[in-house]
């Protein structure tokens, strides 16, 4: 949609027209077709790059008996994959694109892993050392710190109050910090 908006603004043809009218007008527009083709090519390259990046991870997950094409296939599915947590944790320490790390972190946001100290410590260190979205120029690289915050929030228990305080003190303006602050208040109320 941004592509359509930018083209229409550039041409000055946005005023007084509905989206349907603009789409109809642009249907045969060569500039629009070229922009759409370039955008499609860019997305195809990104998808291929992500697939190459997570090739070994996907292979290990599939070998363990879970049929996936991406680590993101685990996100928001039935939490029946605790057995592959060690694979996912290992890959948090391997250099991957931030989008892949985000998928791994989100896949590890499993309440059943709350007692996994290795996972907690890995995510905690990763969160503290990951750049915020405001520090990242390329939009496709954003969202990693927030995905890690989701996992940390899920895994946080009352025994981790001091760790949560440490994280909040160390990176008070990090992405997703509001969830960690809310979780801290929640777990402190249990004591």
Residue 14: predicted pLDDT: 58
Coil, helix or strand for 65? coil
- Alpha-carbon distance of 153 to 142, in angstroms, equals 19
- How many other CB atoms are found less than 10 A from the CB of residue 35? 16
Per-residue pLDDT of the chain (191 residues; tens, 9 = 90+): 555 555 555 555 556 677 777 777 777 778 877 888 888 888 889 898 889 999 999 999 999 999 999 999 999 888 899 999 999 999 999 999 999 999 999 999 999 999 999 999 999 999 999 999 999 999 999 999 999 999 999 999 999 999 999 999 999 999 999 999 999 999 988 75
> Tokens in use for 34?
């070229």
Contact indicator for 70, 54 with CB cutoff of 8 Å: yes
Q: What is the DSSP string of 121-161?
A: HHHHHHHHHSPPGGG-SSGGGTTHHHHHHHHHHHH--GGGH
Which residues neighbour 134 within 8 Å (Cβ) at sequence distance 6 or greater? none
Helix 98-107 to helix 85-92 angle (10° resolution) is 150
CA distance 126 to 148: 8
Q: What pLDDT was estimated at residue 24?
A: 77
Terminal Cα distance for the chain, rounded? 49
Q: Looking at residue 104, what is its pLDDT?
A: 98
Under DSSP, the state recorded for 74 is G
Cα separation, 118 vs 50, in Å, equals 26
Non-local CB neighbours of 160 within 8 Å, separated by 6+ positions: 120, 187
**What's the pTM?**
0.82
Residue 38: other Cβ atoms inside 10 A: 11
CA distances from 108 to 14, 66, 136, 154 (A): 45, 15, 24, 9
CB contact set of 25 (below 8 Å; sequence gap of 6+): 13, 17
């Amino acid at each position: 949609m941004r592509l359509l908006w930018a083209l229409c603004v550039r041409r000055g043809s946005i005023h007084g027209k509905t989206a349907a009218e603009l789409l109809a007008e642009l249907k045969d527009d060569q500039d629009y077709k070229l922009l759409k083709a370039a955008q499609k090519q860019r997305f195809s390259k990104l998808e291929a790059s992500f697939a190459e990046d997570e090739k070994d991870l996907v292979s290990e997950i599939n070998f363990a008996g879970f049929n996936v094409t991406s680590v993101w296939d685990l996100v928001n599915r039935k939490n029946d994959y605790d057995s592959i947590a060690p694979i996912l944790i290992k890959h948090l320490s391997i250099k991957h694109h931030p989008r892949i790390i985000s998928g791994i972190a989100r896949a590890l946001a499993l309440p059943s892993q709350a007692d996994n100290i290795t996972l907690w410590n890995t995510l905690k260190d990763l969160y503290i050392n990951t750049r915020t979205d405001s520090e990242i120029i390329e939009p496709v690289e954003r969202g990693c710190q927030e995905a890690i915050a989701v996992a940390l929030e899920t895994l946080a228990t009352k025994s981790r109050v001091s760790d949560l305080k440490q994280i909040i003190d160390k990176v008070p303006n990090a992405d997703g910090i509001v969830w960690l602050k809310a979780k801290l208040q929640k777990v402190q109320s249990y004591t």
